[in-house]
Copies of this chain bind each other. A is one copy, B any other.
Amino acid sequence: MTTATGVRETTFRDAYREGIRDALIRDDATFLMGEDVGRYGGCFGVSKGLLEEFGPERVRDTPLSESGFVGAGIGAAMNGMRPIVEVMTVNFSLLALDQIMNNAASMLHMSGGQINVPVVIRMTTGAGRQLAAQHSHSLEGWYAHIPGIRVLAPGTLEDARGMLWTALQDPDPVLIFENGAMYPVSGPLPANAGPVEIDHAAVRRHGEDLSLITYGGSVPRAMLAAETLEEEGISAEVLDLRTLRPLDGAAILGTVARTHRALVVDEGWRSGSLAAEVSARIMEGAFYELEAPVARVCAAEVPIPFAQHLEQAAIPQPETIVAVARGLVRGDG
């Protein structure tokens, strides 16, 4: 991605912050706006320190008015700015869905190509922190249904650091979903890490026996599963979709062409998940390549429960991925 002149240990939280800070420095048309991004330092600490550095016009605290300030971000984007709108979590973004679907996603088309909306909307997503039904949605795959927006789901530190700038350069609305459970996770990041492209999926691990196709918060779980599988003598390729809309169909068919078996791992609810779309695309584009039916490991179809053991049972676990993958390869699935 970048030639590392050095590598440092960083958290996702810090990588996201660096991306925002970088954008605020590089482009004065960019500003950050959302609930508690300023004085509080961001609900999850992502924007800590930015108010002090950039001032309240460029790091703007908003009232609790998701539809209002998302709409305002869209309007500002229509008028020369490059706003980064933070919706604290995907759960609250439902309040702004009208603005996202009916305005941001439709504007360019409905105006006959005249008015584009270069807004970036960031939000936290995902379960796993015992936040219960109203604070644990994983809806990035669901958002990917909407034409007119791009949907990004960073699953690595490089992408957490680098997707924002590229998204801001994009003339169209981009939604970035940050997995909440990953904020404190740390790992090595090249010192000179910077913008990354946002059009393609990436093979995170090469393998021959099956493909684990996933994104966002499930990437580390799929990687873990792949390691376990390797110990069992099963070679798993891990494809990180990265961009959920538009989907990189070629990469999906490409990995299946290599491995002939696919398992899609998705933290969204199973029915109508992005995993279903991936499966359908493989059906359509690689049916005759398949040595086994494409499988899915998704979230259970329940509002996410509070109790830890129930919550963990509701979302994809490495052990489940391993078990299903084993079944696919050994044919006893």
> Which residues on A are within 8 Å of B, measured CB to CB?
67, 91-92, 94-95, 97-98, 101-102, 105-106, 109-110, 132-134, 137, 141-142, 144-148, 245-247, 268-269, 271-277, 279-280, 282-284, 287-288, 290, 292-296, 301-303, 305
Whether the pair B94, A98 counts as a contact (CB closer than 8 A) is yes
Count of chain copies: 2
Whether the pair A275, B271 counts as a contact (CB closer than 8 A) is no
State A109–B132 Cα separation when bound (angstroms): 10
Who on chain B is nearest to A98 by CB? B94
Who on chain B is nearest to A302 by CB? B147
Neighbouring B residues of A247 by C-beta, 8 Å: 271
Neighbouring B residues of A288 by C-beta, 8 Å: 293
State A194–B173 Cα separation when bound (angstroms): 47
Who on chain B is nearest to A274 by CB? B272
Whether the pair B133, A106 counts as a contact (CB closer than 8 A) is yes
* Shortest CB distance A97–B (Å): 4
**A94 touches which one: B102, B133, B142 (CB < 8 A)?**
B102
Whether the pair B295, A284 counts as a contact (CB closer than 8 A) is yes
Whether the pair A284, B274 counts as a contact (CB closer than 8 A) is no
State A189–B245 Cα separation when bound (angstroms): 43
**A97 touches which one: B97, B284, B293 (CB < 8 A)?**
B97
State A136–B22 Cα separation when bound (angstroms): 40
State A98–B139 Cα separation when bound (angstroms): 13
Whether the pair A147, B280 counts as a contact (CB closer than 8 A) is no
Whether the pair B134, A271 counts as a contact (CB closer than 8 A) is no
Q: Which 3 A-B pairs have the closest CB atoms?
A: A145-B272, A287-B293, A279-B280
Whether the pair A280, B302 counts as a contact (CB closer than 8 A) is no
* Shortest CB distance A265–B (Å): 14
Whether the pair A271, B144 counts as a contact (CB closer than 8 A) is yes
